[in-house]
């Protein structure tokens, strides 16, 4: 059995022996994206599992071991990890935990430390924790993010974004229930098979795969009824994780709306871009600035390929990172980078500007950056776009689904009235063009 | 056209309306549903069968609790705000805004242009339910409360965020003898402030305003507060006749868009859905059977004080009084602690008269046989009762409870007391009270919550809690504050939970709240081996059982669990070993007189709300004061570094060494400016600007900016900025300087040197939410101060662009600014050293107040510093000590400049025997969820006590006082122990 080794600050390390013996457990956030990432990590010789446990045991464990004033995502993520270890499904001495760490000024950078404190409280201090980050925090001899692996992860995230974007456009209209989910599964299986054989990782094959994916969704028979489109933005965890947002997308679907969820790759580019901006504002190494710039260009090349594929196939395509960035002039500075920073406001602006004024802005109760970039900007958005229809929803262990759904229903009622008004307006315009 | 029926199912009431073709109201009803929503609605419909039977009707359900009914029955649903807007559009055209208060919802709908609708967030809590709670706290009916409020003379500031906060504001006012008339009006004012602050979010309430919903329909006092606050005249404040059921009328209007059905079918759908239950989240039962319950009872009933009987007793006796927040407890004991007399009753907002009455009763029983040799008082009303009846001793509650617990179990190492209003837990280490945990204002859903809930469901408290004992499936209601619990209960009811299941669930919730939210324990071993529980709430067997189940171990509940504070006080009185007691004699009681008048102290900027109590014989007692000045004594000022810093910073305005020719530059005096002002002051005066500071913070300043606050859960220090900036606008400055700063100084003691997101980016929030800022030059560029050269280059660029200032001038000013800041820091540290020397020379204990730089603002800390120095401490701030320790890796990511200082200050305090540390935490501060545990860890490792003071816009220092006095008592015990 692998020996427990610590670094000089007393942090338990994930050693090379552990790589062979241990199973890595990762919390869930974006089901499809993460499933592919897990597959990639596996291909590098790790045993790894993405957790899918939900329900009260997760929240209970979170509340028991995490300071209850900490943000809801911390309570859920840590609750999910600890309740998995305590479930008896794994040998606690043969698991390690993986958690992401952004390294920004938001308290989310502290999740990993809260996790370690929680493990200690739960008597599991011997479970090593691995930080996944791009800031060079906390190195482990048994786990390395190699350039090759990172590259594949970026690929997986872009594939994931495409699937997310396209499936949301088809699912509300599918004539055969389940057809969209089946297509998602089929595409993922295909991509994973490809990846396992080392294929699908060049720009060329990626473009071909994109077309393959769009074609398989295009083939799904759909109705042509008009549905209200609702954008979903917010703190990254509650925005994406069904566990965090009480199954928001499913709820919107059941209410007859089409959810529009901006992808995760913009967030990655945003975090790269922040470093470049930092050097610009505060000084520092020019080399860093140039490297970040290069990296951003590299990732954006793939983003563009995805956008082009969507356009080619006639699906609605989001704008690229630069377009998003252009929206925030007059709202927030480039330096606003903690949490989702200016990106969150930019996503709302993009949605509004592309004909989707109905938005659910999700945040954990008391989320610090969202005071500013979420709730703090709604007033101005309303001033500038009087028809924008944004509802801010707080998530935490005590908030009940019924309250949240009631507020979303109000937004939907507004949205439908707006849609009707627009349709009538259009009609009268057509009847009497001179009156306009 | 068919008849249209609208059913509005709210959190507490069901409203049914029927409209005819001309939109005439044919029927309307407004009835409480006592959580039996579906039954109530069906019953009402059945009662109007004559009107509807055999007809095709359009029927739509609306309301916060209507969704579930709609889903279960298949009857269509419209969102209630949407329905209300429809009714207003139809019946009261040209309306500019609607304010609607319901049982638990508050809404504002803005008309004119695009329809804008606002509902209270999940934090803002109930309004009608809140008024209900407050009325039962005052032991009044809603109508009496309303009646009283119309006779108010003054308004007390009561926290307007949620019911729980307001409760802890009201209680001290009552306990200190405030008038009920004033309290009643203040409660309504709190509702008004909450609505205006929480929901307007930057949009002004003006024009014709329509007021809707039950509370606004029935309560004249509440109407009056709204009209006063919004300065409306009769024409612009509309209270429609059917304002209590507008949402139902709107639903009826909307129903035309949905298909019609025969009335009988609608009724059938509704009635048949009655038993449809959703998936309930349930927990194991409290007791499996009666035998288990009996064993439980006999185990607990074994802990009781010696038998005693007042009627046959003769000899000495000692009196203990616990003037608690909602109840008054009194105990008379003999030398062995046997209870001769006891009393436990709700104080009904007037503890003095209750104690008077009971004291007469006791004297009456005593006759000549029994002599009272000592009397002691504890609890919220300690000072008042002590002065009113001349008790021999007043002691802090924690000590009283410890004394009582130790009587039953000398080895006790953990005490938890859940009373009506508050929850206290503390560990006992080496015979002293150690690490006190009180429920912060946000989670004080204690005993009185069950009581209010029982009442709402039409039960008395005793039978309600008994119902839960044998519930087969207690429902999981979560462990957050009462407001959330209200919604959880609503949801559980929707899913078909019985009253039994809810009763058990509520008991379990209270326990979970205590264990995970207040104590923050991971296991029973975290608490202790010998746990004694007390307080009235633990007399509830369901709560006690839930507590044992949650901890997985047996605890001791003395039979007098509800009297432990009074019992402890009596024991303390006995231990005084007095020859004779000072307590008012039987004859003196005959002429006892008491009246209380409110007053505002004008002796300093704190403007404490005082209550002047006058008793017979010219005895006077003033409460509500922070310092001794209103008592006629000159304030004795011990060294206070927070005050020193504050005064020094306030001098940093004007032209300084420059000429001021470039104009006036305004700086809002808040958040990080408490750290960065010395820098900017030097920088701008060197550039020949005149620096204008915004006024000192005050409640008034806060209210000035309140209407532009977009997020009601952000911390109070941030909210104050809105007022500061608006004040600067009025002061006529040429520009306002408030830069965005992701980072602060790098002091080399952390892993990074960020500001928190709120401090970093609040300038951008202000720019987006305060419309008048567009009319001025609001400069909020991104700057960083830690790289001197990079900063100089960047600021030169900004200054050239904004004011055409030459580069070399800027470079020189930047250099001077760094020097100015350095000398400020040096002065602060030097003064800190002097204060420490002073303390040591005079043998005074030193208290380190650790928080953010802006916690020295008297409006933010509510004069806690005065309270601290008033108790005989010398006060030092964290930044005067943090430089004395170097970098050390922490168990958390130590990445914020201000927060890093607290870790270092805590480490230093551990090395100094005469220093203690208290941490100030602003409610809503996300980063302190992380720092609090870490500071506690550092202090406890160093053998120090951890004390945290959580502060908000609440002015209630009662809890703060308990902590500081307990800290002193613990320090004394430790010193004598040595």
Residue A355 lies in a domain: yes
**Of A107, A129, A145, which residue sits at a domain end?**
A145
Over range B901-923, report the average pLDDT: 94
CATH placement of domain B1-92+245-274: 3.30.420.40
H helix or E strand, kind and range, residue B44: helix B37-47
- Of B179, B184, B208, B231, the closest CA to residue B99 belongs to B208
Cα distances (Å, whole numbers) of residue B679 to B471, B741, B762: 65, 14, 19
pLDDT of residue A78: 94
Query: In Å, how far is A306's CA from the nearest CA of chain B?
Result: 33
Query: A348 — alpha (psi -120 to 50), left (phi > 0) or beta?
Result: alpha
Residue A170 lies in a domain: no
CATH placement of domain B831-977: 3.40.50.11900
Residues A239 and A338 in one domain: yes
B32 pLDDT more than 60: yes
Q: How far apart are CA A261 and CA A172, in angstroms?
A: 13
CATH placement of domain B315-409+567-585: 3.30.420.40
Give the fold, CATH level 3, of B95-239. Answer: Nucleotidyltransferase; domain 5 (3.30.420)
The answer for residues whose C-beta is within 8 angstroms of residue B957's C-beta and 6 or more apart is: B626, B862, B863, B864, B867
pLDDT in tens, A341-374: 999 999 999 999 999 999 999 999 888 999 999 9
pLDDT band at residue A324 using 50, 70 and 90 as cut-offs: very high
* A332 vs B115, B764, B783: nearest CB: B764
pLDDT of residue B522: 61
Contacts of B780 in chain A (CB under 8 A): 333
Q: Do the chains contact at B926 and A387, CB–CB below 8 Å?
A: no
Interface mutation target, options B710, B753, B937, chain A, most CBs of A under 10 Å: B710
**Of A145, A164, A179, which residue sits at a domain end?**
A145
Touching B: A residues 278-307, CB under 8 Å: 281-284
Residue A296 lies in a domain: no
Contact B908, B425 (CB under 8 A): no
Say which CATH number the domain at A358 has.
3.40.50
Give the fold, CATH level 3, of B423-555. Answer: Nucleotidyltransferase; domain 5 (3.30.420)
The verdict on ipTM greater than 0.85 is yes
Q: How far apart are CA A7 and CA A18, in angstroms?
A: 15
Any CB–CB contact under 8 A between A125 and chain B?
no
Q: How far apart are CA B532 and CA A407, in angstroms?
A: 44
B301 pLDDT more than 50: yes
Q: What is the mean pLDDT of chain B?
A: 86
Contacts of A386 in chain B (CB under 8 A): 113-114
pLDDT in tens, B445-489: 566 677 777 877 788 877 888 888 998 889 887 765 555 566 677
* A376 vs B760, B765, B793: nearest CB: B765
Q: Do the chains contact at A338 and B479, CB–CB below 8 Å?
A: no
pLDDT in tens, B37-73: 888 899 999 999 888 888 999 999 998 778 888 888 8
pLDDT in tens, B335-344: 999 999 999 8
Over range B222-250, report the average pLDDT: 90
Which residues belong to CATH 3.30.420.40 in chain B?
1-92+245-274, 95-239, 315-409+567-585, 423-555
A158 pLDDT more than 80: yes
Query: In Å, how far is A64's CA from the nearest CA of chain B?
Result: 6
B113 pLDDT more than 90: no
Q: Do the chains contact at A67 and B520, CB–CB below 8 Å?
A: yes
Contacts of B125 in chain A (CB under 8 A): none
Which residues belong to CATH 3.40.50.11900 in chain B?
831-977
Q: Do the chains contact at A107 and B930, CB–CB below 8 Å?
A: yes
B124 pLDDT more than 50: no
pLDDT band at residue A13 using 50, 70 and 90 as cut-offs: very high
Contact B188, B149 (CB under 8 A): yes
Could you give the angle at the alpha carbon of B256 between the alpha carbons of B251 and B258, nearest 5°?
90
The residue assigned the tokens 């003071």 is B949
- pTM as predicted: 0.85
Q: Provide the 10 A C-beta neighbour count for residue A90.
A: 16
Over range B587-601, report the average pLDDT: 83
Any CB–CB contact under 8 A between A154 and chain B?
no
pLDDT band at residue B444 using 50, 70 and 90 as cut-offs: very low
Over range B2-18, report the average pLDDT: 90
Q: Do the chains contact at B64 and A406, CB–CB below 8 Å?
A: yes
Over range B723-750, report the average pLDDT: 95
Residues above pLDDT 70, as percent of chain B: 90
Taking the C-alpha atoms of A363, A369, A371 and A372 in order, what is their torsion angle to the nearest 10 degrees?
-130
Q: How far apart are CA B504 and CA B495, in angstroms?
A: 16
pLDDT band at residue B442 using 50, 70 and 90 as cut-offs: very low
The answer for residues whose C-beta is within 8 angstroms of residue B406's C-beta and 6 or more apart is: B412, B428
Contact B510, B541 (CB under 8 A): no
A147 pLDDT more than 50: yes
Contacts of B477 in chain A (CB under 8 A): none
Q: Do the chains contact at A70 and B929, CB–CB below 8 Å?
A: yes
The answer for residues whose C-beta is within 8 angstroms of residue A236's C-beta and 6 or more apart is: A29, A264, A267, A340
Six token digits for residue B755: 């500001």
Residue A208 lies in a domain: no
pLDDT of residue B481: 57
Q: Do the chains contact at A399 and B892, CB–CB below 8 Å?
A: no
Long-range contacts of B572-575 (CB under 8 A, 24+ apart): B572/B320, B572/B376, B572/B393, B572/B395, B572/B399, B572/B400, B572/B403, B573/B318, B573/B319, B573/B320, B573/B373, B573/B374, B573/B375, B573/B376, B573/B392, B573/B393, B574/B318, B574/B333, B574/B335, B574/B337, B574/B373, B574/B374
Contact A166, A142 (CB under 8 A): no
Q: How far apart are CA B241 and CA A313, in angstroms?
A: 59
pLDDT of residue B319: 95
Q: Do the chains contact at B743 and A282, CB–CB below 8 Å?
A: yes
Q: How far apart are CA A210 and CA A416, in angstroms?
A: 34
- Among B147-156, B647-656, B735-744, B780-789, the minimum mean pLDDT is found in B147-156
pLDDT of residue B978: 45
Q: Do the chains contact at B760 and A121, CB–CB below 8 Å?
A: no
Q: How far apart are CA B321 and CA B372, in angstroms?
A: 13
Interface mutation target, options A289, A338, A403, A405, chain B, most CBs of B under 10 Å: A403
pLDDT of residue B294: 93
**3-class secondary structure per residue, chain A:** CCCCCECCCCCECCCHHHHHHCEEEECCCCHHHHHHHHHHHHHCCCEEEECCCCCHHHHHHHHHHCCCCCCHHHHHHHHHHHHHHHCCCCCHHHEEEEEECCCCCCHHHHHHHHHHHHHHHCCCCCCCEEEECCCCCCCECCECCCHHHHHHHHHHHHHHHHHHHHHHHHHHHECCCCHHHHHHHHHHHHHHHHHHCCCCCCHHHHHHHHHHHHHHHHCCCECCCCCEEEEEEECHHHHHCCCCCCCHHHHHHHCCEEEECCCCHHHHHHHHHHHHHHHHHHCCCHHHHHHHHHHHHHHHHHHHHHHHHHHHCCCCCCCCHHHHHHHCCCCCCCCCCCCCHHHHHHHHHHHHHCCCCEEEEEEECCCHHHHHHCHHHHHHHHHHCCCCEEEEEEECCCCCHHHHHHHHHHHHHHHHHHHHHHHHHHHHHHHCHHHC
Give the range of the structural domain holding residue A367, as residue numbers without chain letter.
Answer: 228-263+318-436
* B768 vs A10, A71, A331: nearest CB: A331
B126 pLDDT more than 60: no
Q: Do the chains contact at B487 and A380, CB–CB below 8 Å?
A: no
Q: Do the chains contact at A379 and B201, CB–CB below 8 Å?
A: yes
Q: How far apart are CA B654 and CA B633, in angstroms?
A: 36
List b or e across B779-799, with b for residues whose CB sees 16 or more CB atoms inside 10 angstroms: bbbbbbbeeeebbbebbbebb
Any CB–CB contact under 8 A between A392 and chain B?
yes
**Of A114, A129, A145, which residue sits at a domain end?**
A145
B754: closest chain A residue by CA: A105
Residues A126 and A247 in one domain: no
Higher-pLDDT residue of B613 and A349 is: A349
């Amino acid at each position: 059995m692998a020996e427990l080794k610590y670094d000089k600050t007393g942090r338990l390390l994930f050693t090379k022996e552990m790589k062979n013996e241990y199973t890595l457990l990762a919390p869930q956030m974006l089901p499809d994206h993460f499933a592919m990432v897990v597959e990639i990590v596996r291909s590098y010789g790790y045993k790894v599992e993405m957790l899918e446990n939900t329900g009260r045991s997760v929240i209970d464990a979170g509340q028991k071991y995490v300071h209850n004033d900490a943000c809801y995502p911390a309570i859920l993520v840590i609750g999910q990890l600890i309740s998995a270890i305590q479930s008896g499904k794994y040998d606690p001495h043969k698991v390690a935990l993986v958690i992401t760490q952004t390294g920004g000024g938001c308290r989310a950078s502290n999740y990993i430390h809260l996790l370690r404190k929680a493990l200690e409280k739960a008597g599991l201090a011997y479970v090593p924790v691995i930080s996944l980050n791009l800031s060079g925090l906390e190195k482990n001899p048994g786990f390395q993010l190699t350039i090759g692996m990172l590259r594949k992860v970026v690929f997986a995230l872009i594939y994931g974004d495409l699937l997310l974007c396209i499936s949301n456009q088809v699912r509300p209209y599918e004539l055969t229930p389940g057809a969209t989910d089946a297509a998602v599964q089929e595409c993922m299986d295909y991509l994973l098979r490809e990846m396992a054989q080392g294929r699908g990782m060049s720009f060329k094959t990626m473009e071909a795969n994109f077309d393959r994916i769009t074609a398989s969704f295009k083939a799904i028979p759909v109705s042509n009824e008009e549905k209200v489109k609702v954008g979903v933005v917010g703190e990254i965890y509650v925005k994406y994780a069904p566990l965090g947002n009480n199954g928001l997308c499913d709820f919107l679907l059941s209410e007859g709306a089409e959810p529009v969820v901006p992808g995760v790759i913009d967030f990655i580019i945003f975090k790269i871009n922040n470093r470049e901006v930092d050097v610009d504002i505060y000084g520092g190494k020019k080399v860093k600035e140039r490297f970040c710039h290069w990296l951003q260009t590299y990732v954006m090349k793939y983003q563009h390929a995805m956008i082009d594929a969507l356009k080619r196939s006639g699906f609605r395509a989001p704008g690229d990172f630069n377009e998003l960035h252009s929206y925030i002039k007059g709202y927030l500075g480039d330096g606003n980078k903690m949490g989702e920073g200016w990106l969150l406001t930019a996503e709302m602006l993009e949605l509004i500007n592309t004909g989707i004024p109905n938005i659910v802005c999700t945040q954990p109760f008391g989320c610090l950056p969202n005071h500013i970039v979420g709730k703090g900007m709604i007033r101005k958005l309303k001033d500038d776009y009087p028809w924008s229809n944004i509802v801010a929803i707080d998530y935490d262990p005590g908030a009940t689904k019924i309250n949240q759904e009631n507020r979303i229903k109000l937004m939907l009622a507004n949205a439908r009235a707006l849609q009707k008004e627009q349709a009538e307006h259009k009609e009268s315009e057509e009847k009497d063009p001179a009156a306009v | 056209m068919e008849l249209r029926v609208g059913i509005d199912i709210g959190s507490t009431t069901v409203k049914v309306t029927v409209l005819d073709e001309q939109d005439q109201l044919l029927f309307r009803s407004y009835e409480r549903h006592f959580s039996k929503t579906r039954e109530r609605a069906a019953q009402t419909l059945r009662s109007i069968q004559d009107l509807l039977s055999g007809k095709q009707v359009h029927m739509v359900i609306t309301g916060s609790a209507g969704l579930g009914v709609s889903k279960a029955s298949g009857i269509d649903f419209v969102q209630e705000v949407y329905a209300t807007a429809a009714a207003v559009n139809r019946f009261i055209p040209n309306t500019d805004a609607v304010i609607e208060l319901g049982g638990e919802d508050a809404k504002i709908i803005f008309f004119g242009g695009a329809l804008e609708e606002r509902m209270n967030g999940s934090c803002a809590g109930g309004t009608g339910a809140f008024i209900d709670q407050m009325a039962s706290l005052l032991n009044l009916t809603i109508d009496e409360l309303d009646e009283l409020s119309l006779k108010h003379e003054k308004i007390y500031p009561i926290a307007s965020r949620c019911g729980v906060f307001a409760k802890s504001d009201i209680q001290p006012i009552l306990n200190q003898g405030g008038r009920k008339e004033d309290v009643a009006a203040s409660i309504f004012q709190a509702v008004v402030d909450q609505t205006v602050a929480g929901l307007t979010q930057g949009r002004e309430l003006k024009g014709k305003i329509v007021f809707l919903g039950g509370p606004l329909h029935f309560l004249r006092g509440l109407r009056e507060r709204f009209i006063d606050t919004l300065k409306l005249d009769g024409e612009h404040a509309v209270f429609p006749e059917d304002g209590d059921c507008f949402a139902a009328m709107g639903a009826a209007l909307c129903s035309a868009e949905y298909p019609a059905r025969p009335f009988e079918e609608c009724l059938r759908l509704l009635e048949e859905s009655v038993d449809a239950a959703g998936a309930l989240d349930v927990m194991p039962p409290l007791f499996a059977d009666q035998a288990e319950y009996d064993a439980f009872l006999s185990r607990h009933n074994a802990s009781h004080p010696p038998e005693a009987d007042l009627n046959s007793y003769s000899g000495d006796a000692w009196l203990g009084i616990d003037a608690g927040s909602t109840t008054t407890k009194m105990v008379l004991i003999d030398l062995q602690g046997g209870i001769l007399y006891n009393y436990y009753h709700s104080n009904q907002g007037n503890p003095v008269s209750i104690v008077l009455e009971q004291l007469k009763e006791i004297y009456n029983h005593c006759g000549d046989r029994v002599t009272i040799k000592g009397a002691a008082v504890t609890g919220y009303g300690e000072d008042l009762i002590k002065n009113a009846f001349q008790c021999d001793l007043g002691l802090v509650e924690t000590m009283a409870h410890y004394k009582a617990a130790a009587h039953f179990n000398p080895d006790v190492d953990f005490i938890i007391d859940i009373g009506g209003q508050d929850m206290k837990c503390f560990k006992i280490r080496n015979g002293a009270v150690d690490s006190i945990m009180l429920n912060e204002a946000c989670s004080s859903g204690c005993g009185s919550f069950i009581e209010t809930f029982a009442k709402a469901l039409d039960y008395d408290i005793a039978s309600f809690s008994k119902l839960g004992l044998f519930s087969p499936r207690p429902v999981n209601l979560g462990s957050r504050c009462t407001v959330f619990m209200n919604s959880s209960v609503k949801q559980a009811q929707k899913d078909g939970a019985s009253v039994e299941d809810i009763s058990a669930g509520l008991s379990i919730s209270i326990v979970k709240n205590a264990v995970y939210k207040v104590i923050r324990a991971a296991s029973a071993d975290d608490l202790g081996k010998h746990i004694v529980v007390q307080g009235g709430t633990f007399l509830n067997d369901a709560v006690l059982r839930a507590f044992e189940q949650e901890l997985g171990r047996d605890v001791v509940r003395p039979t007098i669990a509800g009297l432990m504070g009074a019992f402890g006080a009596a024991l303390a009185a006995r231990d005084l070993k007095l020859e004779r007691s000072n307590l008012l004699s039987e004859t003196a009681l005959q002429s006892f007189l008491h009246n209380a008048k409110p007053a505002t102290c004008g002796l300093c900027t704190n403007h404490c709300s005082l209550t002047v109590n006058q008793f017979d014989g010219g005895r006077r007692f003033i409460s509500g004061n922070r310092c001794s000045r209103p008592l006629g004594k000159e304030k004795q000022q011990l060294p206070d570094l927070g005050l020193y810093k504050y005064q020094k910073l306030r001098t940093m305005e004007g032209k300084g060494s420059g000429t001021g020719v470039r104009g006036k530059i305004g700086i809002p005096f808040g958040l990080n400016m408490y750290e960065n002002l010395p820098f900017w002051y030097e920088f701008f005066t060197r550039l020949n600007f005149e620096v204008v500071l915004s006024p000192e913070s005050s409640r008034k300043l806060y209210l000035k900016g309140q209407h532009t606050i977009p997020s009601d859960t952000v911390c109070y220090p941030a909210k104050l900025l809105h007022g500061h900036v608006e004040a600067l606008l009025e002061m006529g400055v040429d520009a306002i300087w408030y830069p965005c700063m992701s980072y602060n100084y790098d002091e080399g003691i952390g892993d990074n040197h960020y500001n928190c997101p709120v401090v970093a980016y609040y300038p951008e929030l202000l720019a987006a939410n305060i419309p008048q800022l567009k009319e001025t030059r609001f400069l909020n560029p991104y700057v960083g101060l830690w790289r001197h050269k990079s900063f100089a280059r960047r600021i030169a660029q900004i200054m050239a662009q904004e004011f055409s200032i030459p580069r070399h001038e800027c470079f020189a000013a930047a250099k001077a600014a760094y020097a100015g800041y350095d000398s400020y820091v040096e002065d602060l540290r030097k003064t800190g050293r002097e204060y420490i020397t002073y303390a040591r020379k005079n043998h005074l204990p030193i208290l380190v107040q650790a928080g953010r730089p802006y916690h020295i603002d008297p409006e933010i800390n509510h004069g806690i510093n005065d309270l601290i120095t008033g108790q005989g401490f010398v006060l030092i701030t964290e930044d005067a000590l943090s430089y004395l320790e170097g970098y050390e890796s922490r168990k958390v990511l130590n990445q914020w400049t201000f927060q890093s200082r607290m870790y270092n200050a805590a480490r230093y305090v551990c090395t100094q025997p005469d220093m203690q540390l208290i941490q100030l935490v602003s409610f809503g501060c996300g980063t302190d969820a992380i720092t609090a545990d870490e500071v506690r860890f550092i202090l406890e490792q160093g053998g120090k006590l951890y004390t945290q003071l959580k502060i908000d816009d609440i002015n209630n220092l009662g809890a703060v006082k308990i902590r500081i006095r307990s800290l002193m008592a613990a320090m004394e015990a430790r010193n004598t122990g040595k």
